[in-house]
């Protein structure tokens, strides 16, 4: 004869699965209030579910075993409402105040009534006092459980429907409400079926509790329990293996079933360990990524604020130097004019850097918008070449240009045109020590093609792959060091892409120059 009759297989399996689930929840954080309460509720529910099976073993059990089981059983029934109300404060993130502990005192009194009733029934079976007291106790218990249901609803219903809380908090409260409703329903069933409940109702409630708790752990990390679907499957598999062991009829069959259960448990333990390791790595990576994004945003905001604040004073310096160079405050010596010219050129470089930084910040924030206006491309670019002429002359670099097939007016984004061409020519001048830099502009088939070529140090294949990345500087920048942010080509790429254009770069190698080509569609 087996220890577990067939008709109790599902019942015991469900109870074991819920018990193990509660044990795992407690193990994740032994000192957390919510985890401990969930473990106690899971233990109570698994105990209630196995009542019919335990009763079938009553004939072979010792009196002390029966007495101990009865005490634990009714202790769990009596304290069920207190556990549920306490857990509802955890789900709703409320403080369980000292006066709230009165519910545990009520539970203790409830247990005293039920236990006294059973003692009277055992010691004085000929009197009706025990049965009468048990009926009164059961009636009090029904009222107590219904009151607990009402209190739980008062705690959790507003949280579930609150628009002030985060979605994850509302979902956790929802799963908590379902769990506590199932648990209290099971407790009520104990009292409706006194002295001892029977039937399949508790089995189904136990399975529902397991399913809801598992979904809550997986979807919302209920009680901060990191739980996976694989772990739930392993619990079900282990419960099935336990049923097989308990249904064995001889010693040899028991040994084989037990070894199989150990093998299943070992495999499940290793699989869960591997999944947990990967999950931990993923969470760590997510945390690091979130922190890096936060730091990157703070950096972008800082750069945007600083550059915006710098632009005002730098513009003032430019106007002041222009007034001095025009002689508004009297004639200046050639040496003074040269010094003021250097100040103006340095100031212009700072203005260019701030403008580039602001454009990069606008692009990263998604605040960059293209505005197309009628533009005389030839005139705009000739003015730009005139601004860069002194820098080229200072380095003895020939700055040439050619314009082919351009009409007097084209509708395009003037800011983008000036910014990208300025950055490309400025970049070419910085990395060219001798020779020339050429700007070639042509219009063919509604495509404005702009090519900036130089006789500078050129680019390797690896450098061209990373050239348009933010803050990228070439390998040989230590040799050809120049002030800059490393944002110029990044801004060029982003701006041209934003208006539907393309950027290409070509170089035959180091010290063989390079060619940057931009293609902008024209309406």
pTM: 0.59
Last residue of a domain, one of 232, 247, 262: 247
Please indicate, yes or no, if residue 257 is contained in any of the structural domains.
no
Tell me, yes or no, whether 323 and 382 share the same domain. no
Please indicate, yes or no, if residue 286 is contained in any of the structural domains.
no
Please indicate, yes or no, if residue 135 is contained in any of the structural domains.
yes
Confidence (pLDDT) at 523: 76
- Tokens 């772990």, located at residue: 231
Tell me, yes or no, whether 313 and 351 share the same domain. yes
Whole-number average pLDDT of the chain: 83
Tell me, yes or no, whether 327 and 473 share the same domain. no
Range of the domain at 442: 373-521
- SS3 for 229-267 is HHHHHHHHHHHHHHHHHHCCCCHHHHHHHHHHHHHHHHH
- Identify the band that residue 256 occupies on the pLDDT scale cut at 50, 70 and 90: confident
Tell me, yes or no, whether 476 and 343 share the same domain. no
* pLDDT tens column, 277-295: 887 788 788 888 888 777 7
Write the CB contacts of 180 (distance below 8 Å, at least 6 apart in sequence). Answer: 84, 87, 88, 91, 152, 156
Distance of CA 433 to the CA centre of its chain: 49
Residue 369 backbone dihedrals phi, psi, to 5 degrees: -130, 130
Tell me, yes or no, whether 435 and 516 share the same domain. yes
Say which CATH number the domain at 474 has. 3.30.565.10
Among 314-328, 384-398, 502-516, the minimum mean pLDDT is found in 314-328
Confidence (pLDDT) at 478: 44
**Beta carbons of 401 and 385 less than 8 angstroms apart:** yes
Among 31-40, 312-321, 421-430, 434-443, the minimum mean pLDDT is found in 312-321
Neighbouring C-beta atoms of residue 504, cutoff 10 Å? 11
Distance between CA 78 and CA 113 in Å, rounded? 10
Tell me, yes or no, whether 185 and 141 share the same domain. yes
Rg from Cα positions in the chain: 40
Last residue of a domain, one of 364, 393, 411: 364
Please indicate, yes or no, if residue 265 is contained in any of the structural domains.
no
* pLDDT tens column, 468-496: 776 666 555 544 445 555 667 877 888 88
* Token pair of 452 as six digits: 């900036």
Tell me, yes or no, whether 381 and 360 share the same domain. no
Alpha helix (H) residue ranges in 29-62: 33-49, 51-56
- Tokens 């000292």, located at residue: 98
User: Count of domains in the chain?
Assistant: 3
Tell me, yes or no, whether 85 and 215 share the same domain. yes
Angle in degrees, CA 520, 521, 522, rounded to 5: 115
Q: 85: phi > 0 → left, psi -120 to 50 → alpha, else beta; which?
A: alpha
Among 104-108, 141-145, 184-188, 232-236, the minimum mean pLDDT is found in 232-236
What percent of the chain shows pLDDT beyond 70?
88
**Beta carbons of 505 and 464 less than 8 angstroms apart:** yes
Tell me, yes or no, whether 357 and 380 share the same domain. no
Maximum average pLDDT range among 91-95, 278-282, 437-441 = 437-441
Distance between CA 396 and CA 14 in Å, rounded? 87
The CA-based dihedral angle spanning residues 372, 375, 379, 384, taken in that order and rounded to the nearest 10 degrees: -10
Residue 335 backbone dihedrals phi, psi, to 5 degrees: -65, -40
Q: Which H or E element spans position 416? A: helix 414-430
Please indicate, yes or no, if residue 267 is contained in any of the structural domains.
no
Distance between CA 148 and CA 142 in Å, rounded? 10
Please indicate, yes or no, if residue 280 is contained in any of the structural domains.
no
Of the CA atoms within 13 Å of residue 17, those in its CB half-sphere come to: 30
Say which CATH number the domain at 35 has. 1.20.1070
Q: What is the DSSP letter of 395?
A: T
Please indicate, yes or no, if residue 272 is contained in any of the structural domains.
no
* pLDDT tens column, 334-348: 788 878 877 877 777
**Residue of 425, 436, 345, 350 whose CA lies nearest to 380:** 425
Write the CB contacts of 227 (distance below 8 Å, at least 6 apart in sequence). Answer: 24, 214, 217, 218, 221
**Beta carbons of 397 and 434 less than 8 angstroms apart:** yes
Tell me, yes or no, whether 22 and 50 share the same domain. yes
Stretch 377-385: mean pLDDT: 89
* Token pair of 123 as six digits: 């010691």
Q: Which residues pair with 516 in a beta bridge?
A: 452, 505
Please indicate, yes or no, if residue 253 is contained in any of the structural domains.
no
Q: Classify each residue of 302-314 as buried b or exposed e, where b means 16 or more C-beta atoms within 10 Å of its C-beta.
A: ebbeebeebbeeb
Tell me, yes or no, whether 26 and 107 share the same domain. yes
Distance of CA 342 to the CA centre of its chain: 51
Given a cut of 80, whether residue 498 has pLDDT beyond it is: yes
Distance between CA 169 and CA 350 in Å, rounded? 49
Distance between CA 144 and CA 150 in Å, rounded? 10
Tell me, yes or no, whether 342 and 231 share the same domain. no
Stretch 50-60: mean pLDDT: 82
Say which CATH number the domain at 305 has. 1.10.287
């Amino acid at each position: 004869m087996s220890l577990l009759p067939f008709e109790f297989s599902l019942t015991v399996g469900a109870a074991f699965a819920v018990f193990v689930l509660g044990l795992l929840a407690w193990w994740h954080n032994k000192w957390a209030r919510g985890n401990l309460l969930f473990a106690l509720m899971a233990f109570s529910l698994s105990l209630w579910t196995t009542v019919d099976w335990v009763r079938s073993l009553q004939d072979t059990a010792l009196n002390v075993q029966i007495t101990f089981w009865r005490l634990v059983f009714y202790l769990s029934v009596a304290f069920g409402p207190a556990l549920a109300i306490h857990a509802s404060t955890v789900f709703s993130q409320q403080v369980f105040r000292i006066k709230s502990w009165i519910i545990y005192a009520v539970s203790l009194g409830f247990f005293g009534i039920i236990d006294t009733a059973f003692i009277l029934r055992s010691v004085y079976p000929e009197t009706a006092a025990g049965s009468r007291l048990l009926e009164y106790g059961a009636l009090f218990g029904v009222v107590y459980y219904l009151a607990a249901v009402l209190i739980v609803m008062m705690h959790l219903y507003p949280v579930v429907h609150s628009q002030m809380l985060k979605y994850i908090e509302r979902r956790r409260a929802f799963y908590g409400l379902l769990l506590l409703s199932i648990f209290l329903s099971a407790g009520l069933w104990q009292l409706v079926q006194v002295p001892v409940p029977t039937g399949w109702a508790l089995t189904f409630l136990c399975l529902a509790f397991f399913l809801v708790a598992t979904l809550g752990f997986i979807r919302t990390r209920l009680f901060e329990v990191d739980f996976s679907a694989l772990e739930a499957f392993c619990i079900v598999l282990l419960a099935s293996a336990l049923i097989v062991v308990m249904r064995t009829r001889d010693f040899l069959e028991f040994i084989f079933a037990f070894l199989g259960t150990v093998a299943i448990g070992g495999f499940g333990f290793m699989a869960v360990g591997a999944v947990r390791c990967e999950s931990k790595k993923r969470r760590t990576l997510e945390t690091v990524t979130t922190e890096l994004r936060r730091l990157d945003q703070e950096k972008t905001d800082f750069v945007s604020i600083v550059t915006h604040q710098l632009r005002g004073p730098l513009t003032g310096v430019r106007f002041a130097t222009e007034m001095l160079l025009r002689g508004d405050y009297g004639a200046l010596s050639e040496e003074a004019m040269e010094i003021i010219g250097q100040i103006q050129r340095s100031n212009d470089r700072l203005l260019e850097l701030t403008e580039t930084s602001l454009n990069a910040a606008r692009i990263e924030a998604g605040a960059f918008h293209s505005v197309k206006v009628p533009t005389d491309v030839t005139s705009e670019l000739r003015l730009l070449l005139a601004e860069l002429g002194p820098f080229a002359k200072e380095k003895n670099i020939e700055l040439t240009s050619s314009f082919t097939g351009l009409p007097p007016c084209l509708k395009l984004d003037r800011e983008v045109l000036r910014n990208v061409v300025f950055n490309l020519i400025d970049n070419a001048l910085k990395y060219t020590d001798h020779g020339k830099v050429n700007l070639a502009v042509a219009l063919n088939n509604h495509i404005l093609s702009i090519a900036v070529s130089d006789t500078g140090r050129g680019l390797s294949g690896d450098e061209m792959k990373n050239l348009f990345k933010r803050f990228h500087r070439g390998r040989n920048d230590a040799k050809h060091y120049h002030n800059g942010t490393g944002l110029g080509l990044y801004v060029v790429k982003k701006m041209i892409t934003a208006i539907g254009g393309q950027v290409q770069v070509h170089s035959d190698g180091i010290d063989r120059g390079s060619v940057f080509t931009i293609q902008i569609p024209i309406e």
